[in-house]
Amino acid sequence: MLNRRNFLTAAIGVAAAGTLAACAKEDGGSSTSSDGSKTITLGFSQVGSESGWRSANTDSVKSAAKEAGYNLKFSDAQQKQENQISAIRSYIAQKVDVIAFSPVVVTGWDAVLKEAKAAKIPVVLTDRSVETSDQSLYVTLVGSDFTDEGRRAARILEKVLTKAGHKGPVKIAQLEGTTGAAPAIERAKGFKEVMDADHADDWKIVVSQTGDFTRAGGKQVMAAFLQSNPDVNVLFAHNDDMAIGAIQSIEAAGKKPGKDILIVSIDGVKDGFVAMSEGKINAIVECNPLLGPQLMDVVKKVKNGESVERWIKTKEGDFMQDQAKAALPSRKY
C-alpha cells in the first residue's frame, strides 16, 4: 500500500496532479451560472450509509457542494465496488469536470481510473486510499491517517487500562472494518505496531473478525466472540457503530461494557460520545467525517489547473470517558 507519510513529499505525484488537473475538460458537464461563469460539475460516489460517520460525511459533502454552488451528481454504492465502478463510468460518460469517490476497498481500480485519465477527467480520493500501479491516476487524497489512528487507539488503551487499575493479561477482541477497506487494514496495522513493540508480553488479540463497520455486524460478531472467548477483557472496535452494536451483546451476556470489558473505538460520532458519557465506551479516537469543505476547495483548484498537496489530512483528537459529557453538547456529528 502507498505510504501515506510520503504523500506530501511525492514530487512526481504532485507534478502529475497538476498536469492532470490542467487537462480537465473546460466544458465537460458544466452549466453556465447567471453571471456567465461555468458551474463546476462534480461526480461523487459514496461507499454507502453503513454508519453514523458515513451519514455525516455524506451530509458534509452535499451541503458543501451546495454552498460552493457546484452541480453535484451523487451516488450511493451500497458498499459494493461494482456499483462504484459503474457510477464512475457514468460520470465519465456525462463528462463531469471532476470525479471524487471514497473507495469501498483498496484494490481493483486501475482500469476505471485509466478510463477517467483518458477522458481527461481528474479524480480525487476522499476518506480512503487505493493501491494502484500508476500514482498519476488520481490527484490527491482528502482524508485521515488510519494507521496513526490505530496507533493512537493502542496508546489510549494504555491510559484506559491504567485508569481502570487493570492487572494481568490483556485479552483483546478486535472488531474489524470491511474486509479489504483501507481503514480496516491500516487501523489494525497501527494498533498491532504498538502492541508488538511495547506489549508483546501482556497484550494479545485472542479473536478478530469483520463486523463490516455496522451496528448489526458488531452486535452479531461480538455475541460470537463471547461464546468462543468469554474471558476477553478488552474490545478494540474499528468504528463506533460496531462498538455500539457490541455493547448490546455484552449487556445481553450479563457483563458491563466499559467495566467488565473495556472498550476503545474510532470515529467520534455523537452516539459514540453518548455511550462514552454513560461509561459504556472508555475511549474514542476521532476520525473527522466533515470533509466536504476541504473537498470542494480541492475540486476548485483541480478544475482551475492548480497544484494541490498529494495528501490533505483532517484534524482529529482523542477522548476518554471523563471528557465525554463536557464534549457531547458540541458534537456536530
- 301-314, pLDDT tens digit by residue? 999 999 999 999 88
Rounded to an integer, the average pLDDT of 213-242 is 98
Round to whole Å and give the CA distance between 150 and 193: 9
Q: What is the pTM of this model?
A: 0.87
Round to whole Å and give the CA distance between 321 and 276: 5
pLDDT digits (tens, 9 = 90+) for 132-148: 999 999 999 999 999 99
Q: What is the pLDDT of residue 10?
A: 35
Rounded to an integer, the average pLDDT of 223-229 is 98
Q: What is the pLDDT of residue 37?
A: 61
Record the cell numbers describing residue 30, joined without a space. Answer: 458544466
**179 has a pLDDT exceeding 50:** yes
Show the beta-strand stretches assigned E in 83-217.
Answer: 98-101, 123-127, 140-143, 170-176, 203-210
Round to whole Å and give the CA distance between 297 and 124: 12
Q: Crossing angle, helix 182-198 and helix 146-164, to 10 degrees?
A: 50
Within its chain, how far is the Cα of 195 from the centroid?
22
Round to whole Å and give the CA distance between 152 and 268: 13
Q: What is the pLDDT of residue 42?
A: 98
Round to whole Å and give the CA distance between 88 and 74: 10
Is there a contact between 144 and 127 (Cβ–Cβ < 8 Å)?
A: yes
Average pLDDT taken over every residue of the chain: 90
pLDDT digits (tens, 9 = 90+) for 18-76: 333 333 333 345 455 444 468 999 999 999 999 999 999 999 999 999 999 999 999 99
Q: What separation in angstroms does the CA of 9 have from each of 5, 22, 64, 136, 308?
A: 8, 21, 28, 15, 12
Q: Residue 299 — φ and ψ, nearest 5°?
A: -60, -45
